[in-house]
Amino acid sequence: QVQLVESGGGAVQAGGSLRLSCAASGHTFSSYVMGWFRQAPGKEREFVAYISWSGGSTYYADSVKGRFTISRDNAKNTVYLQMNSLKPEDTAVYYCAAPRHAYGSNWYLQRAYDYWGQGTQVTVSS
């Protein structure tokens, strides 16, 4: 059974940093794209970032580009999201996601992913 478990969320002041982790179990995702999404209160879930299987390619939403960094450690079956210069508008539940297959496209879309974690809350105060 595939499980994705996020951790590292919390409450910080604007300008602060957090590092989220997503540990996968039940399947080895070292050959798969992994993604991060977020959902703010009253809003739809939106794309944040994804990373290629090797970590050599990354892609970010414009709203987080230059502030967030996605990375992965395939030996640990874990993907990370380093979040710097946090803003109140970054407040959301953050989810990691993985696809069922290694092939695919449009990794910035939710429908590209089959497995989701339970989410971790990030709250940024002004």
Answer whether residue 61 shows pLDDT above 90. Answer: yes
| pLDDT of res. 92 | 98
Angle at the Cα of 47 from the Cα atoms of 41 and 52, rounded to 5 degrees: 150
- Burial string for 53-63 (b: 16+ CB within 10 Å, else e) reads eeeeeebbbee
Q: What is the pLDDT of residues 4-30, one digit of tens each?
A: 999 999 999 999 999 999 999 888 888
Instruction: Say if strands 120-125 and 10-13 run parallel, antiparallel, or are unpaired.
Output: parallel
Q: What is the pLDDT of residues 89-104, one digit of tens each?
A: 999 999 999 999 888 8
Q: Please tell me whether residue 112 adopts helix, strand or coil conformation.
A: helix
In degrees to the nearest 10, what's the CA dihedral of 30, 112, 6, 77?
0
CA-wise closest residue to 92 among 2, 6, 5:
6
